[in-house]
Structure 1
């Protein structure tokens, strides 16, 4: 959820808060040359890794820029280590990413981690349930609000084993209830 003020937008995630500061520059629509953001390839031009893919923020303060260099204006400053982002494109040491609200921009690779995290899907008004095993019939061990941040241990295509950040409570959550993993994606 983002509440905007003339010069400040705030991204709230249940127990986490990120601050975002809009830029005065025009938004980036993808590649540095102004073309569409993704290349149509299914692997990155720099790393050769699958595109798109999910990554997470490495630290508490990460700047999203409108273009792939420090010469470009800052679009947002995220203040939530571990926040999942979808990586769409690679350009040198810069990555085009999208957050759960659909905001895209460029981040330096030093700000990103391959560690898998997810949030309880913001569109799930009732949140999600953490269960003792990967089954709808399993005991509910926790009820989580939309936006709760989870560390992903593994996903089998329908269920993920995850730990609720800051609480150290773990269990299984239906993959369809998460933003940070793809439907039917297997994470080992």
Structure 2
């Protein structure tokens, strides 16, 4: 099953990057005008606990503290950043992380290394035996990183029941705009 899901990741991510290139360029140009730096790069906890650099479109002012989304100050989000977050377009550059094999389209959202309680809960439940994802069951059920135990349990549940139909269902519901997951509380 893992090889089939990885094949789907590669196929969908590469297609998304090719088709979305004009949109990516437009967002990057507007983002440059908005913050002076259209991309946000941050080290996160990845597969088997190893670090990787997550890439997103920047939605906050450049001097914003690097904290978990649920702890971020909503006033740091730019006007364009609000649009990107609301439409989930800020996540699109992560398709590159998917192509590189650092992430999957569907999996537990990668956390910061400072989120030690969540990291411990996920290790205890074997969550890091899967690639982190852009979307997942927790995000679709509005469970964010402010409740580490609940999130780790939901991640474990998702991974234990992961199959091709669930994978596509999670993607479909995400594209339809369901769930808020790790959003900053506005």
Q: Identify the structure with the greater helix proportion.
A: 2
User: Which structure has the higher relative contact order (CA within 8 Å, separation 6+)?
Assistant: 2
Q: TM over 0.5, yes or no?
A: no
Structure having the larger proportion of residues in strand:
1
Q: Tell me the TM-score normalized by structure 1.
A: 0.30
TM-score (norm 2): 0.30
Is the radius of gyration larger for structure 1 or structure 2? 1
